[in-house]
Structure 1
């Protein structure tokens, strides 16, 4: 059996790898895997010989908004059948089994998967059952192994966690993921002149308060403060607050 044709995902346009859950034991983990896949735009799931049969009500309940992946998931009796149409297969495992194969991180594996898919190839990624993972007979069907750099004293990953890690790397390899953004909260960054005027305000008030002492150190102290202001990523709102603080302190001093 093959999986049903999948619509383009809302996150990653075009073909995506098939994530193959091999003999999964718990419906909740199948549903969790579906959610993880859908979070990152993957919509081709294949399920091999699930312990509790198929379809699985617990998987549906856990999948929540990602239930469509389960509806369209391919159901297979063996791993060989599940990857028969794949041009390249990865096996996810934390154990080295004396099998000579390339071993990749999720990042490198999904980069390789992207290149294969871009050339029109089909990629499958095998995930083993929760209790013991993939068996050697499963791994020998793969072209390469994916190993996550986890704590060697506790290498076991939950099925949905393993799926999520690889799904994230797939999206990261195929989408423009901005490494850092700042939510501006209805303000804009302060311009250079606005920061300069803020420095002028503080320098004037601190000078009146006798802060720049002794006199022969005044120039270097002012330079330190100017450098401080220029290093700070100030918004227009921040500048207004700093001006307001200084004005309020002056009012308090004038009343005393």
Structure 2
């Protein structure tokens, strides 16, 4: 059997987190070095690898439900290699250090099991109930793999150079940054999107760190087999799970 498809071979890098092209990640496992990943994201594996649901303390699960920022995880352990992907999105590997990483759970693909994570809130400067965006704060030292819809832009923030970004396009940022949600509007009814510009809530970043912005303001649907989520995304005037700030993953 012959085909150009056989040119797409495995990247044999010895790195623990080794991207396989732009849309897939290979994680090399050894005994005692588990990885946790988005439930259902495994597409292949080699060796003696096992999968189990990841335990989350009741308080953490409760905060996730209240925030709508659900992070269903599976623990992967054993010895071998696992390949992860999600809807052919672009995959990026980040090293988490003292800065920490804040990310929308919808973009988390895999992370070292020893890292700590919890739900945090970004409050609106207007104090409007329900407007605050919830995200995940990941801390410790290790690797995190995130996904984006398209190739993202990594924006540098310094004390004398802050930036604003559409809340629906922001994927992640350094936890050390100060963040404020705001609506740049000259009209009185700030409850709705500004005029006919189509622009809504923005995040303002100040301090010293980085912001990752993707070239998309909509997450790919996760329930297209049934079509329910896709229809919800396209229905005018309504939000949908997995869209924009505070989006949650649906079951797969």
Normalising by the residue count of structure 1, what TM-score does the alignment of the two structures yield?
Answer: 0.24
- Greater strand fraction, Structure 1 or Structure 2: 2
